[in-house]
């Protein structure tokens, strides 16, 4: 696949013009009027899958700090599920067209990826920072989630015609989803094997999710594990191997210093790859094996001194050392500065993003016919199927007003500051969408941190305002970038863009209905939240605290860690840019930072997953390329959905320990 970039800097005369692109697409690709697309069955299956995927991403965000795209997973599952429904009905129901499946994919992506990205981060951080650890009222969370998701969907309207139709940006994940659907509908044997391997992996992941559930979480499940242990063999997977971890410090264990039997974590390493996973593991090993014992010995020497702030805190009633509570400062600094450095090195991408501002004001229909009558007819036909600019204008005004009102009601953000947050979300969405289109990487971490830095000036010393604004910008930017990826799939398959937009718009409502109740059921209180590692959430908390309270509130060792992390975060991206041939041999700055934000057991499993895929590729490269991603995606989806549903069931039944 050839990646095309930098189209906005000026096309060579030999390149196709915008009219040529439209003419070729409309005459050779477009088939939105020839087969069903926006149907009730596509919307309902998309809503169901998107709801499950939103819950899955909520869990994975709290567990590993990642949310995973749902486009390919949802289109494969939809294909398999609908074929199963047809088989059970004796083929009395008709097959789903490829555009229906694409429409379903759009609904599922909007529901699964555009609604829950910042619930665990911004609202989780707010729950941690609140002195009484109180939840934000659910109507406000629901309104915030819905409004930011809709804002991202609406912002995608003017950007679609510019980035996809005119500039033909790749959006690699969108291309991959379109190719997957095309292969499924051609009944390509290899793609069908991938589909069924994904389904089998989901079932396996679900079983692992049950087997590694704590025995005291459900009475019935605990009795089943006990019966199996007595009658057959012990099938329950332990929380940690070894139970006390690999090493004690001053007679006390370190938090999660061992191997955690989890298919999800190993699968995440399979997807992330060797460079990031081994960077995470190396940083975490340095922290747990070296720095923590050293810092704890220093803390023990100075513990009696008045005003001394210990580096390594104790948790669990003073019985367990938690190295990440210290290390997250250095890790966060590394990730923030690496994100900003990478963004600065892509300044051309950022500069091109601002050209989109001119596209918002462009009329859908030229004031006068330009070119031949044939060109004018083509423009009219394209305008009949593209999303009208008026939809953007009519939609964005009430949603923007609603977002300003929600920020005031929920967080007491002044109306003018709320308006700045909404306006910044446009800018961040444009940058994130172009970066996704050109590189397939959405710099959402950098987008949230940009908003936090802006609000450190707009509303200094207020962590609540800081997190609320970051949530507005991050969720809108993520939604817009992800939905443009789906629109790229539809463009390649010849879908009607207007109908696809309606599917996305509808999906935001379905996703909100699923993820907001799931949030309160999975996290009824602060104790339930703190059972998760929360790497992304703790990063938001750290930045908000640092910008609000200042570095004076931290122990000296943490301040030094921040300086070292910032330096590494700047140097590594610069080295990669200056010496591209050395890039494979340099550690990942984001991986090193994450290694100090997530617990050791997570990084250990990531490394195992990445090494397994590398070894698999050495032994049988063809099967590894064919199945590794689908198996990993299935394990993640299966275990995360089951674990999330079990956590919600605990709250419903009131049987949590």
Q: Is the pLDDT of residue 319 over 80?
A: yes
Give the pLDDT of residue 290: 93
Higher pLDDT, 615 or 428: 615
Q: Which of 105, 88, 122, 8 is nearest to 48 (CA)?
A: 105
Give the pLDDT of residue 613: 94
| Token digits of residue 131 | 């002195």
Give the pLDDT of residue 258: 93
Give the pLDDT of residue 11: 35
Cα angle at 441 between 438 and 444, to 5 degrees?
A: 120
Q: Is the pLDDT of residue 6 over 80?
A: no
Q: Which of 527, 520, 534, 532 is nearest to 137 (CA)?
A: 520
Residues 6+ apart with CB under 8 A from 204: 263, 634, 635, 638
Average pLDDT of the residues in 501-511 = 90
Average pLDDT of the residues in 69-74 = 74
Alpha-carbon gap, residue 66 to 109, rounded angstroms: 16
* pLDDT classification of 294: cutoffs 50, 70, 90: very high
Cβ 111 vs Cβ 44: under 8 Å: no
Give the pLDDT of residue 509: 92
Give the pLDDT of residue 232: 83
Residues 6+ apart with CB under 8 A from 20: none
| Token digits of residue 242 | 């070894």
Beta bridge partners of 321: 254, 314
Residues 6+ apart with CB under 8 A from 564: 330
Cβ 533 vs Cβ 63: under 8 Å: yes
Residues 268, 269, 274, 277, CA torsion sign: positive
Q: Which of 63, 45, 138 is nearest to 647 (CA)?
A: 63
Give the pLDDT of residue 289: 94
Give the pLDDT of residue 657: 45
Average pLDDT of the residues in 82-93 = 85
Q: Mean pLDDT lowest for which of 91-100, 107-116, 359-368? A: 359-368
Residues 6+ apart with CB under 8 A from 361: none
H or E element that contains 252: strand 252-253
Alpha-carbon gap, residue 469 to 423, rounded angstroms: 11
The pTM is what? 0.78
| Greatest mean pLDDT range, 128-142, 164-178, 186-200, 276-290 | 276-290
Give the pLDDT of residue 347: 62
Give the pLDDT of residue 593: 87
Q: How many CB atoms lie within 10 A of CB 286?
A: 15
DSSP-derived secondary structure for 412-459? ---HHHHHHHHHHHHHHHHHHHHHHHHHS---HHHHHHHHHHHHHHHS
Higher pLDDT, 259 or 306: 259
| Token digits of residue 1 | 């696949």
Q: Which of 114, 106, 113 is nearest to 45 (CA)?
A: 106
On the CB side of 385, CA atoms within 13 Å amount to: 21
* Helix (H/G/I), strand (E/B), else coil: 171: coil
Give the pLDDT of residue 23: 78
User: Percent helix, strand, coil in the chain (nearest 5)?
Assistant: 75, 0, 25
Peptide bond into 242 cis (omega under 30): yes
Average pLDDT of the residues in 252-278 = 89
Higher pLDDT, 122 or 97: 97
Give the pLDDT of residue 364: 46
Q: Is the pLDDT of residue 516 over 80?
A: yes
Q: Mean pLDDT lowest for which of 196-200, 506-510, 648-652? A: 648-652
Average pLDDT of the residues in 512-535 = 88
Higher pLDDT, 379 or 538: 538
Higher pLDDT, 149 or 545: 149
Q: Is the pLDDT of residue 371 over 60?
A: no
Cβ 326 vs Cβ 557: under 8 Å: yes
Q: Is the pLDDT of residue 356 over 60?
A: no
Tokens 């979480």, located at residue? 217
Higher pLDDT, 652 or 285: 285
Peptide bond into 575 cis (omega under 30): no
Average pLDDT, the chain: 81
Q: How many CB atoms lie within 10 A of CB 118?
A: 30
Tokens 């009430």, located at residue? 398
Centroid of chain to Cα 147: 18
Alpha-carbon gap, residue 516 to 54, rounded angstroms: 10
Per DSSP, 259 falls in state B
- Tell me the helices (H) and strands (E) count for the chain, helix number first: 27, 4
415-439 helix and 389-411 helix, angle to the nearest 10 degrees:
130
Q: Is the pLDDT of residue 130 over 50?
A: yes
Give the pLDDT of residue 445: 60
Q: Is the pLDDT of residue 614 over 80?
A: yes
Note the pLDDT tens digit of each residue in 424-475.
Answer: 888 778 777 776 776 566 656 656 667 777 887 788 878 888 888 888 887 8
Q: Would you list the domain boundaries of the chain? A: 37-202+343-362+379-529, 246-342+543-627
Note the pLDDT tens digit of each residue in 373-426.
Answer: 555 577 777 778 888 878 888 888 999 999 999 988 888 888 898 898 888 888
Torsion of CA 482, 486, 492, 497, to 10 degrees: -110
Q: Mean pLDDT lowest for which of 115-124, 174-183, 280-289? A: 115-124
* Helix (H/G/I), strand (E/B), else coil: 124: helix
Tokens 């051609």, located at residue? 186
* pLDDT classification of 610: cutoffs 50, 70, 90: very high
| Token digits of residue 372 | 């031949």
Q: Is the pLDDT of residue 366 over 70?
A: no
């Amino acid at each position: 696949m050839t990646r095309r970039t930098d189209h906005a800097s000026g096309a060579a005369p030999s390149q196709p013009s915008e009219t040529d692109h439209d003419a070729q697409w409309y005459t050779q690709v477009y088939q939105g009027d020839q087969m069903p697309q926006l149907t009730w069955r596509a919307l309902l299956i998309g809503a169901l899958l998107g709801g499950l995927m939103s819950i899955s991403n909520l869990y994975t965000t709290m567990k590993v700090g990642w949310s995973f795209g749902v486009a390919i997973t949802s289109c494969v599952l939809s294909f398999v599920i609908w074929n199963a429904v047809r088989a059970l009905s004796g083929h009395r129901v008709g097959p789903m067209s490829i555009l229906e499946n694409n429409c379903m994919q759009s609904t599922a992506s909007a529901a699964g990826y555009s609604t829950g990205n910042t619930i665990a981060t911004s609202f989780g951080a707010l729950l941690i920072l609140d002195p009484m650890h109180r939840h934000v009222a659910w109507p406000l969370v629901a309104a915030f989630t819905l409004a930011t998701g809709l804002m991202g969907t609406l912002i995608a309207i003017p950007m679609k015609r510019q980035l996809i139709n005119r500039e033909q940006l790749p959006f690699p994940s969108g291309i991959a989803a379109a190719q997957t659907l095309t292969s499924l509908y051609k009944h390509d044997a290899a793609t069908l094997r991938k589909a069924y391997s994904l389904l089998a992996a989901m079932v396996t992941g679900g079983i692992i999710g049950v087997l590694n559930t704590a025995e005291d979480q459900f009475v019935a499940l605990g009795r089943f594990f006990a019966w199996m242990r007595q009658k057959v063999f012990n099938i329950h997977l332990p929380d940690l191997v070894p139970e006390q971890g690999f090493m004690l410090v001053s007679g006390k264990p370190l938090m999660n210093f061992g191997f955690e039997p989890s298919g999800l974590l190993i699968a995440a390493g399979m997807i992330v790859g060797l460079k990031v996973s081994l960077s995470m593991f190396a940083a975490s090993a340095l922290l747990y094996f070296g720095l923590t014992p050293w810092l704890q010995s220093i803390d023990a020497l100075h513990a009696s001194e008045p005003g001394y702030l210990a580096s390594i805190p104790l948790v669990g009633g003073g019985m367990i050392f938690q190295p990440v509570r210290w290390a997250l400062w250095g890790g966060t600094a590394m990730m923030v500065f690496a994100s900003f450095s990478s963004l600065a090195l892509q300044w051309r991408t950022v500069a091109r993003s601002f050209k989109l501002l001119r596209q918002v004001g462009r009329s859908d229909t030229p004031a006068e016919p330009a070119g031949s009558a044939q060109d004018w007819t083509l423009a009219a036909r394209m305008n009949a199927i593209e999303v009208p600019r008026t939809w953007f204008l009519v939609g964005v005004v009430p949603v923007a007003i609603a977002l300003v009102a929600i920020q005031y009601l929920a967080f007491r953000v002044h109306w003018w500051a709320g308006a700045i947050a909404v306006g910044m979300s446009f800018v961040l969405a444009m940058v994130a969408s172009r970066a996704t289109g050109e590189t397939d990487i959405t710099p959402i971490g950098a987008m949230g941190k940009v908003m936090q830095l802006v609000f450190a000036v707009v509303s200094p010393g207020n962590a609540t305002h800081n997190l609320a604004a970051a949530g507005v910008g991050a969720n809108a930017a993520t939604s817009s970038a992800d939905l443009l990826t789906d629109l790229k799939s539809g463009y390649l398959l010849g879908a009607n863009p207007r109908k696809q937009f309606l599917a996305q718009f509808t999906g935001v409502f379905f996703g909100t209905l699923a993820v907001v109740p799931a949030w309160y059921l999975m996290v009824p209180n602060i104790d339930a939240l703190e059972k998760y590692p929360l790497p992304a959430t703790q990063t938001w908390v750290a930045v908000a605290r640092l910008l609000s309270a200042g570095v004076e509130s931290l122990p000296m060792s943490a301040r030094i860690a921040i300086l070292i992390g910032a330096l590494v975060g700047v140097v590594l991206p610069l080295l990669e840019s200056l010496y591209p041939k050395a890039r494979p041999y340099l550690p990942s700055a984001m991986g090193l930072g994450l290694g100090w934000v997530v617990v050791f057991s997570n990084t250990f499993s990531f490394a195992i997953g990445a090494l397994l895929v590398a070894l698999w590729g050495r032994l049988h490269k063809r099967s590894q390329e064919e199945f590794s991603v689908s198996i990993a995606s299935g394990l993640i989806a299966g275990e995360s959905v089951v674990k999330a549903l079990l956590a919600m069931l605990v709250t419903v039944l009131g049987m949590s320990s």
